[in-house]
Amino acid sequence: MELTSLTILEAGRLLRRGEVSAVELTESVLDRIVAVDNQVRAFLTLTPELALEQARAADERLTAARRSGEGDLPALLGIPMAVKDVLCTEGVPTTCGSRILEGFLPPYDATVVARLEQAGYVLLGKTNTDEFAMGSSTENSAYFPTRNPWDLSRVPGGSSGGSAAAVAAHEALGALGTDTGGSVRQPAALCGVVGLKPTYGRVSRYGLVAFASSLDQVGTLTRDVADSALLLSIIAGHDAQDSTCVDLPVPNYLEALSPEIAGLRIGVPEEYFGPGMDPGVEATVREALGQLEALGARLERVSLPHTSYALPVYYLIAPAEASSNLARYDGVKYGHAAPGADELWELYKRTRGEGFGAEVKRRIMLGTYALSAGYYDAFYLKAQKVRTLIRQDFDRAFEKVDVLAAPTSPTVAFPIGARVEDPLQMYLSDIYTLSLNLAGLCGISVPCGFADGLPVGLQILGRAFDEATILRVAYAYEQSTPWHTCHPSLSVGQGADPAGC
């Protein structure tokens, strides 16, 4: 039995029965990281000592529970996981993939991290990310690019590429990511894992280092849908420390999973099958739609007519919010401070010039321009009005159907370096994921096959706070196909042969 290939739920059952210890499981995953992460580069920071300390504590509790007959144990007790390096972890470096926060040690945990700790998880380390989550390939990290485990010459997607690659390469049983314009779902699709973006407000953003506050949402990356349902049940729920976090009951998402979707209405947006999509991706997704129909779902064509505006709207709103959020990095309170500055403005200029990378600077300038006097009404305000139209498109579609199904990404993973000099082509990587963030709705990407030897993702989109339904549809599809059982061989080339299918 390969411990590193277990799902969270499988590992949890073994731990509770005493068939494996938390230390054995954690050591197995740490050994896997040592063996493959020099190739994949999924982690920015590793915490092996902390992980083994937490694993030993988990074993003590598991042993005591077996002796006493205690059955109500924390859901993640002894499970080794990873956290994207934009979420604060007390005493563990949180850099956001940026030199400006190099060496920063947060004095507190993000709410989602605290909830994982309460559930008994084991922290393996912090995963690589595009700087301040601004990117679609993890090439914008100030430290190094992460590589796709299916083909080490290709990107893993972004900005949660480190978390997606860690799960795909069996360097973690699950991971947290964040999704501002597709940054959980797109890397999940490119790495052949499951990526869940909850509804805006379902999960607390307290302790998430802000990129675009009205768009950011914490999500999960896992090997299968059941693990996503479990993690969402743990991290979701009201948090008084986040005013945008909604006070609604959290369903038992695991209990909502069912292979039965007969009669469910699934909308297929015509705008999500447009120019620029790889033919192999389209064929694979069309086949997945046919499988949903074979399971008894009713497919219906729907239109989201303002989809073509999502990209320009996003790249006005997100940079505008980023320009405001990133103004706090000035070399005074924390993070990098340029040495030798004689006056305050010189300190600001040199600190930000040295600390921020090219993409972050580009977005700060775009956002500052959009918010500047004389341009606010023409750009930012107009973008917010079109954002409302995009949300209304979804509202009308959901009057007719229960969920929407579409490709997650228009292409498979592209070669490292192929789009670095062409920002527009890089931005188009998220063309099918941006709208969901602008509308504040929920979505999940699930593996649906391969094109050119590389993974393809099927995206299920749902109404606000209806994560249970998208999880149910994704689970039904997953259980009727072999794709979630596939794993990469970590070979370099034009695509790795799927193993374990």
Burial class (CB in 10 A: 0-12, 13-18, 19+), 149: buried
Q: Are strands 174-178 and 80-84 parallel, antiparallel or unpaired?
A: parallel
CB 184 within 8 A of CB 220: yes
Residues 209 and 325: their CA atoms lie apart, in Å, by: 9
Residue 67 tokens, joined: 């002796």
Q: Which of 98, 163, 183, 409 is catalytic?
A: 183
Is 228 catalytic? The answer is no
Closest CA to 140 of 123, 154, 151, 128: 128
**Which pairing describes strands 403-407 and 454-462: parallel, antiparallel, or unpaired?**
antiparallel
Write down how long the chain is.
501
Catalytic residue chosen out of the listed positions 84, 197, 323, 445: 84
Burial class (CB in 10 A: 0-12, 13-18, 19+), 41: buried
Provide the token pair at 372.
């500047």
The Cα–Cα gap between 276 and 280 comes to 12
Does residue 213 have an active-site annotation?
no
Cα separations (Å) of 389 from 146, 310, 340, 393, 431? 36, 10, 50, 6, 17
Q: Which of 98, 136, 159, 160 is catalytic?
A: 159
Two tokens, residue 191? 């790495």
Paired tokens of 187: 């890397």
Strands 122-127, 43-46: pairing is antiparallel
How far apart CA 436 and CA 90 sit, in angstroms, is 31
Q: Is 84 annotated in the active site?
A: yes
Of the candidates 137, 129, 25, which has an alpha carbon nearest to the alpha carbon of residue 76? Answer: 25
CB-CB contact of 76 with 61 (8 Å):
no
458, 464, 467, 469 alpha-carbon torsion, rounded to 10°: -80
Which residues are identified as catalytic?
84, 159, 183
